[in-house]
Structure 1
Amino acid sequence: MRLHTLASLIRRKPPLTEESITVVDQPMLKRAISAAALGNMMEWFDFGVYGYLAVTLGKVFYPEASSSAQILATFATFAAAFLVRPLGGFFFGPLGDRVGRQKVLAITMIMMAAGTFAVGLIPSYASIGIWAPILLLCARMVQGFSTGGEYGGATTFIAEYSPDRRRGFLGSWLDFGTFIGYSLGSLLVTVLNGALGESAMVEWGWRIPFFIAGPMGIVGLYLRLKLEDTPAYRAQLDEHDAKVKQAESAGREIGTIFIRFWRPLLICIGLVTLYNVTNYMITAYLPTYFTDVIGRSQLSSDLMVLLSMVVVVLLIVGIGALSDRVGRRPVFAFGAIAQIVVAVPLFYLLGLQGIWAPMLACAVFGVILACFAAPTASTLPALFPTSVRYGALSIGFNIAVSAFGGTTPLVTSALVDVTDNNLVPGILLVVSGLVGLVSVVFLKESAGQPLTGSPPQVADADEAAATYEVARREAEALPA
């Protein structure tokens, strides 16, 4: 933990005392991580399923279009859901700052599960005509609106429960859930494609993965209802503050975020752009790139992308722990620079015949993506104070994801189609790497430090005593 930061807390009014240091409830911390990660897992299970079923869904909902138009229409529906994500962020984020993180996360869990489950119930175009893609769009909109409050709330929840010195490690479990969910969804579709064949998948098999969202949502809701709100949120709400927060309008908080916190908001948008352009390029676009652009078999393509996800799952928690020791900025910077240097060569390797060169490229992309995913959940909440953390993070995250992340498959597919250049996806990754690197330059290091506006959080009473003693001695050594 940074000594100067601790020393300044001793000198503030009211000053830091040993009693004011938050000792984390370990059983509640474990439940919080499990509940938050499961919600993210369900969200990305849906994305994995949708990305791997893009070709099949095109045949089910847009059968009268050409094959390329089917892909573009499917990705357009995918991207349309992201248009409402900022609305979800603007609604759920400030709401979470006023009524509590736990309540809002329970609501988003219900809506996510319902939206995903509903996709499996929609009749095909052959049954109801144009109403089929319209209903698909509506279900995706519900899911998109709910996820607008999901990631910002989940990262806030875990960050506000975690001890300062382990926030990177514990926060990385949230995105571990992300890639486990995606891997499970993509693996399920791969197995179904192999077992049922194209005809059965188009006829009825595509519905199976979406139906699984119902039971997953019930389990996630149960876990979230068993949680208490975070120590940081409860600490700032005495009786007077609670009344003020209840009376404060969402519009006023949103105005405060854009006026007072525009610098960290821009940094948040830049880091999320870096992470999510890479994320959606690999998870949502690459399966179709392999099949429709390179001409690989469906099974080969699915397994290639799944390799990237396995690499991320194997590395993410270790890199999260590393960020607690070396800092968040070096981890982000390494990933951004690596992406700038190797993105175009890796897409060249992806286009080669055989299996080893594409496998190597997918593995390297997995390493780069892990460098972005691991520190994100611990870095973004540290940009904002407790009073606006959920709202600011939800707004910044969803603006970036909607504008640059969710549109990545559609924009990339269209550019490759227009330019007939298979290296265009690599060029887009270079651009996002440059945006992210600029954001890292202006990012303040937060590893080991208390969240803005909160006292230090530690794992046990002994660590609280030791932390206070270090802070006291450092404060005495500073000039008056």
Structure 2
Amino acid sequence: MTTTTNQDQREGLRPHLADSTSATAPPTMTRREKLRVIQGVGIGNALEWFDWTSYTIFAAYFAGQFFVAENPTTALLGTFAVFAAGFLMRPLGGLFFGWLADRRGRRGAMTLAMIITALGSMVIGISPTYEFVGAFAAAFLLAGRLLQGLGHGGEVVSSFTYVTEMAPADKRGRWSSTVFVFVTLGVTTATLLGALLTAALGVEAVSDWAWRIPFILGGFLGVYALYLRRNLDETPMFEQKHDPHGSAADTVDTPPRGRQLWREIWRHRNACLRIMALAAAGTVLYYVWAIQAPAFAIGALGMPPGPVMWIATAANLFFIACLAFWGWFSDRVGRKANWYIFALGGIVLTIPLTLLLTGGEGELWRLAVFMFAGMVLIAAPTAIMPAFFPEQFPTRIRAIGMGVPYSVAAALTGGTSPYLQTWLYDIGAPRVFDIYLIILCALVLVATWFAPETKGKPLPA
């Protein structure tokens, strides 16, 4: 039932998958050690996405402080443009941190990426507004977003690779799903904080100054995440390829560099193209259904901020249960089944869900149905991305091989989706955005058809 191409055979995916040795197998760990690994990886992802989501959640509040415009939608579009700029740094983060993780270790790359993201959050939290520095206010906001984007791109490649190499082969789907469980906890915390601040202080106070709280908090929480990650062990697969000190001169199997690196990536070009197609749809629809929906409901649809935040919080808690199910499902049935269900569901339900959301001004139940239904579908690919993408590449280029196409796809599609959706709705053409989502889902069907099934198989050495 698994379909592969001749190029996959030339990439050496199947032979590598069949070659499993005890030296490269994940270590036998106690329950406490497993929890330490999952928590160490997860807390960094939670922090990354707490910072990342805080921007989206609070954009409607602080847009007018950085972009002066009579039309609130215009100011919000300016804020989303800066949001997209952060995505443009993700390919650079994926490239640099992918290289770093493959040469110096997954753990060190994860730690550095998290520090940079926390720094970007702090910059946003203390940025002066237009009232004090004029147009330069947008430059401070942009600098913080660029740092967040750089660190976020690095977090994805290093943490995905780390958790995949540490997980048992028959449980990688479940371990993978824990990454986005923590991501969702970060998203939920940011959303819940928005609801609490709005309820306790009021919309005016949040717009004036309280929007800074989550960004400053995210900067300080980076210290705690740093402590957790410094105590993690390096993955056995990486250590087998390198000496204990990570010296490039003494490596057993030195990762490629320069032109040799790009030739190696080109040799795995089919895997890279598949990841770009899969990541594009997964990223956009994750933002549309799970991240962007509250800001869109508040800014474009005029729904009250407080109730919107509570609906989003409940939807994200439901998403955690969906992630756990789909991770287990992929270990039992297969990774490809998750992608097929997501793609077909997206093609069928995108337009009906959008019509439902926008069909009645201020009707909160519409937002609830939109988000809860979307969570069921988007959890299917999201739960397994941290495993399925690294499973496509050998150890020597695993981080950079999956990181570059994933980051490029996220930058081209996910980074522009909030701006594109808000703009098309504002000009009265929301169906164009729906058609765009359906096309992305159709590309997922094609990419999945040609992808190898990786459930339960040893990682390529």
Measure, in 2, the Cα distance between the counterparts of 1:400 and 1:91: 16
Asked if 1:282 is matched to 2:289, the reply is yes
**1:156 corresponds to which letter in structure 2?**
T
Indicate yes or no: 2:410 matched with 1:401. yes
Describe the superposition over 1:204-262 as per-residue Cα deviations: whole angstroms up to 9, x where unpaired. 11111111112321111111111121011112225899526597674335413432110
Correspondence list, 1:14-93, <5 A? 21-26=25-30, 27-93=32-98
Residue in structure 2 matching 1:115, options 112, 116, 120:
120
- Over the aligned positions, Cα root-mean-square deviation in angstroms equals 2.5
What corresponds to 2:266 in structure 1?
259
CA distances 1:299-347 after superposition (whole Å, capped 9, x unpaired): 2333333343222112101210111000000011111101100110011
Q: In the alignment, is the contact (CA less than 8 A) between 2:323 and 2:380 conserved in 1?
A: yes
- Give the direction of change, closer, same or farther, for the CA distance of 1:447–1:16 in structure 2 (3 Å limit): closer
Matches within 5 A, 1:220-299: 220-237=225-242, 242-243=248-249, 250-252=257-259, 254-299=261-306
User: One-letter code of the match for 1:171?
Assistant: S
Segments of structure 2 that go 5 or more residues without pairing to the other structure are 3-11
Counterpart residue identity of residue 39, structure 1? G
Amino acid aligned to 1:364? A
Q: Deviations over 1:451-475 (max 9, x none)?
A: 111xxxxxxxxxxxxxxxxxxxxxx
Alignment of 1:68-217 (within 5 A): 68-217=73-222
Q: TM-score, normalised by structure 2?
A: 0.90
Does residue 311 (structure 1) correspond to residue 321 (structure 2)? The answer is: no
Structure 2: how far apart are the matches of 1:279 and 1:253? 35
Report what 2:449 is aligned to. 441
What's 1:331 paired with? 338
Q: Aligned letter for 1:339?
A: G
State whether residues 336 and 433 of structure 1, in contact with CA within 8 Å, keep that contact through their aligned partners in structure 2. Answer: yes
Residue type of the alignment partner of 1:367: V
**Residues 15 and 136 (structure 1), Cα distance of their counterparts in 2 relative to 1, 3 Å cut:** closer
CA 409–248 in structure 1, closer or farther in 2 if over 3 Å, else same:
same
SS at match of 1:393: helix
Q: What whole-Å deviation, never above 9, does each CA across 1:386-422 have from its counterpart, x for those lacking one?
A: 000011111111001101111111122222223x034
Q: Is the 8 A contact 2:52 2:148 kept in 1?
A: no
Matches of 2:178 and 2:128, distance apart in 1:
37
Deviates most, 240-249 or 400-409: 240-249
Deviates more, 1:436-445 or 1:251-260: 251-260
Greater mean alpha carbon deviation, residues 256-265 or residues 177-186: 256-265
Residues 253 and 221 of structure 1: CA distance in aligned 2, closer, same or farther (over 3 Å): farther
Amino acid at match of 1:281: V
1:361 Cα deviation after fit: 2.4
- Residues 87-131 of structure 1 deviation map (CA, whole Å, 9 limit, x = unaligned): 111111111111111111111111111111121111111111112
Q: How many positions carry a matched residue from both structures?
A: 444
Equivalent residue letter for 1:30 = L
**One of 352, 368, 375 as aligned partner of 2:384:** 375
Gapped regions of structure 1 (runs ≥ 5): 3-7, 454-480
Deviation at 1:56, TM superposition (A): 1.2
Give the secondary-structure state (helix, strand or coil) at the position aligned to 1:23.
coil
Counterpart residue identity of residue 153, structure 2? G
Query: Are 1:307 and 1:362, in contact at CA under 8 Å, matched by a contact in 2?
Result: no
Give the ranges of 4+ consecutive aligned residues of structure 1 lying more than 4 Å apart after TM superposition.
Answer: 14-22, 238-242, 244-250
User: Distance in 2 between the 1:16 and 1:81 partners?
Assistant: 39
Identity %: 30
The answer as to 2:419 corresponding to 1:410 is: yes
> In the alignment, is the contact (CA less than 8 A) between 1:347 and 1:425 conserved in 2?
no
Higher mean C-alpha deviation, range 29-38 or range 355-364? 355-364
Quick one: which amino acid aligns to residue 385 of structure 1? P
Q: What does residue range 333-372 of structure 1 map to in structure 2 within 5 Å?
A: 333-353=340-360, 354-372=363-381
Give the partner amino acid of 2:66: F
Q: Per the alignment, do residues 194 and 428 of structure 1 end up closer, same or farther by CA in structure 2, a change over 3 Å counting?
A: farther
State the Cα deviation string for residues 147-175 of structure 1 (Å, max 9, x = none): 12111110100000000000000111001
| Higher Cα radius of gyration | 1
CA deviation digits over 1:167-216, x for unaligned, max 9?
Answer: 00011100111111011101101211122122211221111111111232
Is contact 1:47-1:284 (8 Å) kept? no
Q: Which amino acid aligns with 2:53?
A: G
Measure how far apart 1:381 and its partner are. 0.8
442, 447, 458: which one aligns with 1:450: 458
SS at match of 1:294: coil
SS in 2 for 1:53: helix
Q: 1:85 to 1:15 in 2, by over 3 A?
A: closer
Query: In 2, Cα distance between the equivalents of 1:430 and 1:270?
Result: 13
Read off the aligned partner of 2:333 and give its amino acid letter.
Answer: V
Distance in 2 (alpha carbons) for counterparts of 1:393 and 1:16: 21
Distance 1:259 1:337 in 2: 30
Moved more, 242-251 or 433-442: 242-251
Q: Which amino acid aligns with 2:422?
A: S
Shift of the 412–356 alpha-carbon distance from structure 1 to 2, 3 Å rule, reads closer
